[in-house]
């Protein structure tokens, strides 16, 4: 967990939600009132965001006490209690919605990812996330993918060179794009992996002739062409498949022998896990 990123996220989220005060709690609950609340699971899946919740409660009120029963990555079912938080009642309610919003979405992503990981069991293929994330929530969403057993792809535009179809077309072709990328790395002294997307077997052949890449993204291939592509590459480069891949066919794609399958739906099409924070009556 990157504490600096998390801290800034929590600060900004609280500014958005709390503004100049939680006037409902301020007006109805006497100052100094102590309370306890439990995080109640109302769905089946993989729990994620417990450690984030700890940081949120700490940011809102360092005197809040958290008693954790279920950690990130735990399989959960309805009526499970993930944790209890105890302390100033106003503080608990100030943190409530931010905790729930984050944990519900993160748990949904972790659950979705874990389902795909299970589908790929018995193969050598791992599932990757993408940059198809919610602006401002990328760190949390990719964290949830890891909790669910998936693998993070590049985090942003800055930590890998990924030459896609538009880059190839704008630069004048496969060879030119690869040569330009390698020259850029030499000129800048940056040490970044280079991945290139291919749209057909002809482009793949051009990549194999040119070399000087680390990973090949095989996009929108049918099963026969994908198997042929993997055979052509012969383990010389890391392989990744994408495009047209669903829950129903992902195992078939994995059986073609690719190292990774990238799935944008891990983060962009997710049903949140149903969770709630309920007061515990004394």
* Active-site amino acid positions: 97, 132, 164, 197, 219
Give the integer Cα–Cα distance in Å for 198 and 64.
53
CA distance 138 to 130: 10
Task: Give the separation between CA 186 and CA 192, rounded to whole angstroms.
Answer: 11
Rounded Cα gap, residues 176 and 82, in angstroms = 54
Q: Which residue has the tokens 């790929």?
A: 120
How many beta carbons lie within 10 A of that of residue 90, not counting itself? 22
Q: Label the pairing between strands 81-88 and 161-163.
A: unpaired
Q: Residue 272: enclosing H or E segment and its boundaries?
A: none
Structure tokens given for 209: 């002739």
Mapped onto helix, strand or coil, the DSSP state of residue 82 is strand
């Amino acid at each position: 967990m990157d504490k600096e990123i998390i801290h800034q996220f929590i600060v900004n989220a609280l500014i958005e939600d709390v503004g100049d005060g939680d006037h409902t709690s301020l007006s109805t609950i006497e100052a100094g009132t102590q309370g306890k609340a439990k995080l109640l699971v109302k769905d089946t899946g993989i729990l994620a965001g417990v450690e984030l919740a700890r940081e949120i409660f700490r940011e809102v009120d360092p005197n809040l006490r958290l008693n954790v029963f279920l950690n990130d990555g735990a399989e959960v079912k309805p009526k499970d209690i993930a944790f209890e938080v105890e302390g100033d009642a106003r503080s608990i309610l100030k943190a409530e919605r931010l905790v729930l919003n984050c944990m519900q979405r993160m748990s949904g992503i972790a659950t979705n990812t874990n389902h795909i990981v299970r589908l790929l069991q018995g193969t050598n293929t791992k599932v990757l996330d993408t940059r198809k994330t919610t602006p401002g929530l990328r760190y949390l969403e990719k964290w949830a993918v890891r909790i669910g057993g998936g693998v993070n792809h590049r985090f942003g535009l800055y930590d890998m060179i990924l030459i896609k179809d538009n880059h190839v077309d704008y630069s004048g072709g496969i060879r030119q794009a690869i040569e330009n990328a390698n020259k850029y790395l030499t000129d800048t002294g940056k040490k970044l992996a280079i991945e290139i997307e291919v749209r057909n077997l002809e482009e793949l052949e051009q990549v194999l002739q040119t070399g000087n890449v680390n990973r090949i993204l095989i996009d929108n291939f049918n099963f026969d062409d994908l198997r042929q592509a993997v055979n052509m590459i012969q383990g010389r480069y890391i392989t990744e498949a994408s495009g047209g891949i669903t829950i129903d066919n992902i195992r078939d794609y994995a059986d073609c022998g690719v190292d990774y399958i990238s799935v944008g739906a891990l983060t962009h099409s997710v049903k949140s896990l149903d969770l709630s924070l309920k007061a515990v009556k004394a």
